[in-house]
Structure 1
Amino acid sequence: MTTRLTETYIENRAMVQPNHANMLDTAHGGNVMKWMDEVGAMSAMRFAGETCVTARMSQVDFERPIQVGDTALIEAYVYAAGTTSVRVRVKTYRENPTTGETEPTADSYIVYVAIDEDRNTVEVPDLRVETDRAQRLRDEALAGENGGD
């Protein structure tokens, strides 16, 4: 069984509200990490066809804040897979909800493990990279994971 990288691409948004903010009226880093983990898990589960749990999150690099009233745009996709694990690239952007203008805000690489209903690990499919876009996404993730980003 194989799954195409482009089938794992998930994009989600969260409107940053005052209850998501820190004392500087920007999204609290913990909320941003939660959103990143959730969208990354959705991508991993779409790939695996199974429930996936977080095994490891690499460092999260926060480049700029997301203001209250802006949208947190989170993109995730599977770029590599092991026997039972799935590696997901997760990028977050600050998005102006009225203009659509975006700026990168946070980046991470998350490993998920596929499990069955008894919480035992299960095998995941092979990853297929079929398009130029998919190859570019995979290459960017592998370079960034190894410190080349």
Structure 2
Amino acid sequence: MDQKPCIESLTVKNSHVLPPDTNSHGTLFGGKLMAYIDDVAAIASVRHCRKPVVTASTDSVDFLAPVQEGDTICLEAFVTATHNTSMEVFVKAITENLLTGERKVCATAFLSMVAVDENSEPSPVPGVFPESEQEKWLHEGAERRRLHRKERRKESKELAEKFGTGLPWLPRD
């Protein structure tokens, strides 16, 4: 399978922050921003592999600045690394006050997306190669992030096994 440059998966999405999107502080709901992040990461990963994808994990969503009602939010995403059937996608969100023109990076995130076939089984993806200095910097850290993801997933499975589906904090008869 041929490799593709990171830039081929670049996806940019803009949204106007309206009152139904905000909390009692007049700022964008964190969950709404997370939904935007997941959506733009999915589009970028499908652009890369040209197959359906599922979200395997979100490494982190770091909220760096509030997004006010009336602002716009611009999300940029691209595939930074691949591994067999998975893709790491970097997402950056920028808020802009349309009246003043002030722009701030309001969030960053890494997501892992997995390509799937018609039976919803993992499917191979093309490799990716960085070209710009920023892409190279992200690409160089991808293996470290992948190993961290793998360890975190192991811990999550242990938690799920230990706590199961019951409510362990309730008193038992």
TM-score, normalized by the shorter chain, greater than 0.5:
yes
Show the counterpart of 1:57.
58
Q: Is 2:140 the counterpart of 1:139?
A: no
1:87 match: 88
Gaps of 5+ in 1: none
Deviating more after overlay: 32-41 vs 90-99: 90-99
1:137 aligned partner, one-letter code: E
Aligned residue type for 2:36 = W
Q: Deviations over 1:34-92 (max 9, x none)?
A: 00010011101100110111000012111111001101110101100000000000111
SS at match of 1:39: helix
Distance 1:66 1:141 in 2: 28
Whole-angstrom CA distance in 1 between matches of 2:9 and 2:63: 24
Per-residue deviation, 1:95: 1.4
Structure 2 stretches lacking a partner, 5+ long: 146-173
**Structure showing the higher helix proportion among its residues:** 2
With the length of structure 2 as denominator, give the TM-score of the two structures: 0.77
Q: CA RMSD, aligned part only?
A: 2.0
Cα gap change, 1:4/1:141 in structure 2, threshold over 3 Å: closer, same or farther?
closer
Higher strand share: 1
TM-score by length of 1: 0.88
CA distance in 2, matches of 1:85, 1:16: 32
Shift of 1:101: 3.4
- Helix, strand or coil at the partner of 1:58: strand
Q: Residue in 2 aligned with 1:4?
A: 5
Deviation at 1:136, TM superposition (A): 2.1
Matching residue of 2:67:
66
Paired residues of 1:89 and 1:141 also in contact (CA < 8 A): no
Is 1:37 aligned to residue 38 of structure 2? Answer: yes
Distance, in Å, in 2 between the alignment partners of 1:138 and 1:34 is 27
Render the CA deviation track for 1:109-137: whole Å, top value 9, x for unaligned.
000000012211100001123x3x2x422
Q: Contact 2:81 / 2:129 at 8 angstroms: preserved in 1?
A: no
Identical-residue share of aligned pairs (%) = 31
